[in-house]
Amino acid sequence: MRGVNRVILIGNLGKDPEIQYLEKNISVAKFPLATTETHKDKNGKLISQTEWHIVVLWRGLAELAQKYLHKGSLIYVEGRLHTRNWEDREGNKKFATEIVADNLIMLDKRSDSHPSTFTAAPLPEADSIDESFDSSSEEPPEDEPTGKLPF
């Protein structure tokens, strides 16, 4: 039986997207996304819980994110979970789970039109992505998980 790896989130950007250009001018953007759930406790008090997610966008979606998104932007994002792992300088195993998005809708209110939808072209197979991010010769920074992405 086949599995399903699908993520749908609606949230606000925690900071402006960071964009990098790889070999052959392939763009990749990364940003934190906050999702907040609110519920009432047994006393009727509203309780909010915020989760932070790292979103990664490739090629055209990365370019659109750089052009149109900024800290605080409200977006709908759809994609898949991807976990990277590496060893830090001390030899400790680290990992990061990110959302690799293939669909993005900007939900901020605009005076002249409806929300804008952007869909990514199909991504290459995971093996070809991993080859272009061979970071075995470089060590990731101690305080930030970078794995096979260039930031």
Q: What is the mean pLDDT of residues 116-123?
A: 59
At the top level of CATH, the class of 7-38+46-132 is: mainly beta
- Per the prediction, the chain carries an average pLDDT of 82
pLDDT for the residue numbered 114: 52
Q: How confident is the model at residue 109 (pLDDT cuts 50, 70, 90)?
A: confident
pLDDT at 124 over 50: no
**Is the model more confident about 47 or about 145?**
47
Question: Over pLDDT 90: what percentage of the chain?
Answer: 70
Q: How far is CA 38 from the centre of its chain?
A: 23
- What angle is formed at CA 75 by the lines to CA 72 and CA 77, rounded to 5 degrees? 135
At 109, list the tokens.
Answer: 């209110």
Domain extent listing, the chain: 7-38+46-132
The percent of residues in the chain predicted with pLDDT above 70, rounded, is 72
Amino acid 17: pLDDT: 97
Q: What is the pTM of this model?
A: 0.71
Q: What is the pLDDT of residue 148?
A: 53
Question: Which among 50, 56, 121 has a CA at the least distance from the CA of 82?
Answer: 56
Greater confidence (110 vs 40) lies with: 40
The rounded distance, in Å, linking the Cα atoms of 81 and 127 is 16
DSSP 90: T
Q: How many CB atoms lie within 10 A of CB 117?
A: 10
Q: What is the pLDDT of residue 119?
A: 67
What is the predicted pLDDT for the residue at 117? 62
